[in-house]
Structure 1
Amino acid sequence: MADEMIAWTWQSQGQPTGLKQESRALPVPGPGEVLLQNLSIGLNPVDWKMIEWGHPLWSPGHVPGVDGCGILLAAGAGVQLPAVMRYAYHQGLGQNGSFASHIVIRADALMAVPQGVDDAQAAALPCPGLTAWQALEKLPGTGGRDVLVCGGGGAVGLILCQLALRLGWRVWATASLSHHPALLSLGVSGVFDYHDPDWQQQLTAALGPRRLHAAFDTVSGTHARILAPLIGYNGHLICIQDRQESAPLSAFSTALSLHEVALNSIHQHGCREDLRLLRQAGTRLFSLVEQGSLELPPISVSGFSTLPDVLAEVRQGILRGKQVVLL
């Protein structure tokens, strides 16, 4: 086993192209941790956002990145896992992340990757897939009513639409026109172009006498507020991007419930049972991918040396689909 690793490191607030490649000593896993050799790295919007904004726990030399897939090289005390398995993971923002040839991570955050899922798919799934799962966990019931997914063309929205359909919800979505055929082919009841200023009226007309039971917003807190009047009595507004700092509707009107989705928070505030449920959800999602029952966004792959440039293009909106770096 090599005694060094290569990493793209953060130095200060700025653009992804400001990341610096460094060689450093291979870290040693502590109790309950493992050392993985990364095979693939998934790029997510949160990556460039943290590089640009900074993070309270980051200092120069921090390794960004939350998603990856690798093979186990070493295990700390108390860890017993098969070394032959590939493991996918979602790393907490406060820890050194996936933008490296190796990573140390908590063993109870690992998800075994089945043989029928390739390395690129394994790294593409954790952040958007587990975010979609967590968002649906906010919604009580087992389907049969109308829900709206705003941003159905994005990675989270695409997976969320499919999982909601599997639970029996009647799903509507907003997306740019290029995504409409794919979403409709999955069984979404209707898709509305969010560029159209009349899309809300079109949705209301399509619903007829019914009202939305829930709306999932992947756009922004400001955008989520405009969805509140569309939701019926005792309904739910689930904010995946930002949160509602104040109630969007007056008290004692539709009795709207507000929900905040924050996947990263599990690493700081989650207990052992929370992580068990997360692993269980990840295992189920990987099984659906292997069976061909869960469609991921189109995946594009690139090399490790191009990581900062590719992430910069993700930030600029130049690249479509899911970007994965293979090592």
Structure 2
Amino acid sequence: MPNTDILRENIVSKTNVDKTIAAKTMRAIVLPEANEDIRLENIELSVPQCSDNELLIKVEYVGLNPLDAQYAKTGFCHWQYPHVLGLDAVGIVVDAPKGLYPNIGARVMWHASMGEHGVLSEYAKAPNYAVSVVPDNIRPEQAATLPCAGMTALISLDKLQIAQGDTLLVEAGAGAVGQIAIQFAKLRGADVFTTAAKCNHKLVKALGADVVFDYKDKKLCEKIRRELGPQGFDAILDSIGGETTARNIELMRFCGRIACLKPLPNFEHELLFRKSPNISIVSLAGAWLANSLCAQQRMSFMSNLLLESLAKGDLVVPEVNLIEFNSEHISAALNKQLAGGFTGKQVVKLNTA
């Protein structure tokens, strides 16, 4: 879309900002209790009350993640019900303490705390140090695809210490995390191998992957060794977990590095002694659950990098699939997250008029 259209939309959004919120209640999508079918409800809640360093934000778009769907089924130990779902959001600041940056009228992007209410509501609050201002030449729905997937990719690459000439395997390269990780790994000079369904090989190649394997191939390990040689991968970004994690350690060089996005399986002791892997766990939720101000601020720095890269054309985001803001449509979208079979990013559009 031409930049003039983006600018026009930004002007309209910011012109409609109410500097004082007259509304006392808001629409929200909640999980009444954890349930296998992900049954959600449309309800009215009070507009959040903000503390001294918090911004009140009118939510425009919410990016859905597999994590939202997983915990909608199982629940999370810190949640009280009914619980507002959603972690990734973009919106307009409508109330802020005087002198606090960013201030009223700014469009911001942020990743919410896993332990508190989420962002599938007309208004949400966020600490000012945990948000990033969205450049005017970025569409807000595209920005909403970035927080969870983008920061997970960046943290993984940092933990893996990816540098020029490293051989890196990115599992599930066509997923949102995989797409972003491939692009940043190439910027760091890595040789990127990835797995994907055959229908997505062209996509991940276009993003920069050097070698692509069909994840359903029964001879996958054999073909990887044939392509890579006997030395094994320097690093692996493992977003699958389970038996795949053990298989990936087998494919690593001695003292190789692996970043895991899922809980670790039980490993055979012989495998760990023989490979001596450097294993890292990646968790965005930990920044909030550990109450680490430094980690929360670092998330904002990473968000800035993601937005700057997108604004400069150095980053391509997953294709956006817009979802209507109601419980039925969002429930279906979350179930689709777990079923898989799609390569874009589902983003809920709120009625911001």
Tell me the TM-score normalised to structure 2 length.
0.87
Task: Give the match for residue 53 of structure 2.
Answer: 32
Going from structure 1 to structure 2, the CA distance change for 1:274 and 1:60 (only over 3 Å counts) comes to closer
Residues 135 and 318 (structure 1), Cα distance of their counterparts in 2 relative to 1, 3 Å cut: closer
Whole-angstrom CA distance in 2 between matches of 1:278 and 1:186 = 24
Deviates more, 1:95-104 or 1:105-114: 105-114
Q: Does 1:52 align with 2:73?
A: yes
| Residue range with higher mean Cα deviation, 164-173 or 220-229 | 220-229
- Partners of 2:175 and 2:349 in 1: how far apart? 22
Partner of 2:145: 124
1:77-92 correspondence to structure 2 within 5 Å:
79-92=100-113
Q: Deviations over 1:255-292 (max 9, x none)?
A: 31111111111112253332222211111111111222
Structure 1 residue 317: Cα displacement: 3.2
Match of 1:92, as an amino acid? S
CA 1:268 to 1:79, structure 2 compared with 1: closer, same or farther past 3 Å?
A: farther
- Does the Cα contact within 8 Å between 1:213 and 1:235 map onto a contact in 2? yes
Provide the residue aligned with 1:308 in structure 2: 331
Pick aligned residue for 1:221 from 234, 237, 242: 242
Alpha carbons 1:225, 1:248 under 8 Å: kept = no
Q: Could you tell me whether the CA contact under 8 Å between 2:89 and 2:119 is conserved in 1?
A: yes
* Matched pairs, number: 327
Distance in 1 (CA, whole Å) between partners of 2:132 and 2:101 is 14
Do the aligned partners of 1:70 and 1:86 also contact (CA within 8 Å) in 2? yes
User: Where do residues 17-166 of structure 1 align in structure 2 (5 Å cutoff)?
Assistant: 17-75=38-96, 79-140=100-161, 142-166=163-187
Q: 1:243 corresponds to which residue?
A: 264
**Unmatched tracts of structure 2, length 5 or more:** 1-20
What secondary structure sits across from 1:18 in the alignment? coil
Q: Which amino acid counterpart does residue 198 of structure 2 have in structure 1?
A: L
- 2:310 — aligned with what? 289
- One-letter code aligned to 2:184: L
1:299 to partner: Cα distance: 0.8
Cα 1:271/1:43, change in 2 over 3 Å: same
Partners of 1:249 and 1:304 lie apart in 2 by: 51
SS across alignment from 1:181: helix
Following superposition, the deviation at residue 311 of structure 1 comes to 2.3
Pair 1:232 & 2:249 matched:
no
The structure-2 alpha-carbon separation of the partners of 1:245 and 1:268, relative to structure 1 and needing over 3 Å to count, comes to farther
Residue in 2 that maps onto 1:280: 301
| 1:6 is the counterpart of 2:27 | yes
Which residue of 160, 169, 194 corresponds with 2:190?
A: 169
Q: Aligned pair in 2 of structure 1 residues 196, 250: CA closer, same or farther (>3 Å)?
A: closer
After TM superposition, give the deviation of residue 73 of structure 1 in Å.
1.5
TM-score of the superposed pair, with normalisation by structure 1 = 0.94
- Tell me what 2:6 maps to: none
Counterpart Cα distance in 1 of 2:217 and 2:158:
30
SS at match of 1:124: coil
Q: Could you tell me which amino acid in structure 2 is paired with residue 130 of structure 1?
A: M
Q: Secondary structure at the match of 2:144?
A: helix
Q: Cα distance 1:52–1:231, how it changes in 2: closer, same or farther (>3 A)?
A: same
Distance 2:70 2:91 in 1: 24
Q: Which moved more, 1:176-185 or 1:14-23?
A: 14-23
Give the distance between the partners of 1:324 and 1:101, measured in 2 at CA: 15
Once the two structures are TM-superposed, the CA of residue 140 in structure 1 deviates from its matched residue by: 2.4
Partner of 2:222: 201
By how many angstroms is 1:318 displaced?
Answer: 6.1
Give 5+ residue unaligned stretches, structure 1. Answer: none
Shift in CA distance, 274/314, structure 1 to aligned 2, threshold 3 Å? closer
1:209 Cα offset (Å): 4.6
Superposed displacement of residue 142, structure 1: 1.9
Amino acid at match of 1:95: E
- Shift, 1:250, TM fit: 4.0
Alignment-mate amino acid for residue 292 of structure 2: C
Identity within the alignment, %? 27
Letter in 1 for 2:74: W
Give the direction of change, closer, same or farther, for the CA distance of 1:159–1:210 in structure 2 (3 Å limit).
same
Give the corresponding residue for 2:7.
none
